[in-house]
Amino acid sequence: MTYENIIVSEQGAVGIIQFNRPKALNALNAAMITELNTALDAFQMEVAIGAIILTGNEKAFAAGADVREMKDKTFAQVKDENFLHDWDHINTITKPIIAAVSGFALGGGCEYALACDLIIAADTAKFSLPETSLGIIPGAGGTQRLVRAVGKAKAMDMILTGRMIDAGEAERSGLVSRVVAAAQVMEEAILVATKIAALSRPVAKAAKYAVNSAAELPLSEGLKLERSAIHAMFDLYDQKEGMAAFLEKRTAKFENR
Contacting positions for ligand HXC (CB under 6 A): 24-25, 27, 63-68, 84, 104, 106-108, 130-131, 134, 138-140
Degrees to nearest 5, angle at CA 15 with 203 and 21: 135
141-150: b or e for each residue (b if 16 or more CB lie within 10 Å)?
Answer: bbbebbbebb
Is 226 a known active-site residue? no
CB-based closest residue to ligand HXC: 107
The active-site residue, picked from 64, 103, 107, 108, is 108
CA-angle at 227, arms to 223 and 231, nearest 5°: 170
Question: Would residue 13 show up in a list of annotated catalytic residues for this protein?
Answer: no
Among the listed residues 131, 171, 188, 226, the single catalytic one is: 131
**What is the side-by-side order of every strand in the sheet holding 51-55?**
6-11, 14-19, 51-55, 97-101, 118-122, 178-180
- The two beta strands, 165-166 and 104-106, are unpaired
Q: Which of 64, 109, 111, 188 is catalytic?
A: 111
Residue in 51, 65, 125, 204 annotated catalytic: 65
- Active-site residue, 214 included: no
Nearer to ligand HXC, 27 or 179 (CB): 27
CB of 17 to ligand HXC, least distance (A): 18
* Residue with Cβ nearer ligand HXC (8 or 115): 115
- Mapped onto helix, strand or coil, the DSSP state of residue 16 is strand
CB nearer to ligand HXC: give 50 or 109: 109
Q: Cβ 199 to ligand HXC, closest distance in Å? A: 32
C-beta of 136 vs 181, nearer to ligand HXC: 136
**Any catalytic annotation for residue 108?**
yes
* SS3 category, 44: helix
Return the bridge partners of 120, or none. 100, 178
Question: Could you tell me the CA-to-CA distances from 212 to 114, 149, 190, 229, 233 in Å, in that order?
Answer: 12, 11, 22, 13, 18
Q: In terms of CB distance, is 69 or 241 closer to ligand HXC? A: 69
Give the residue numbers marked as catalytic: 65, 108, 111, 131
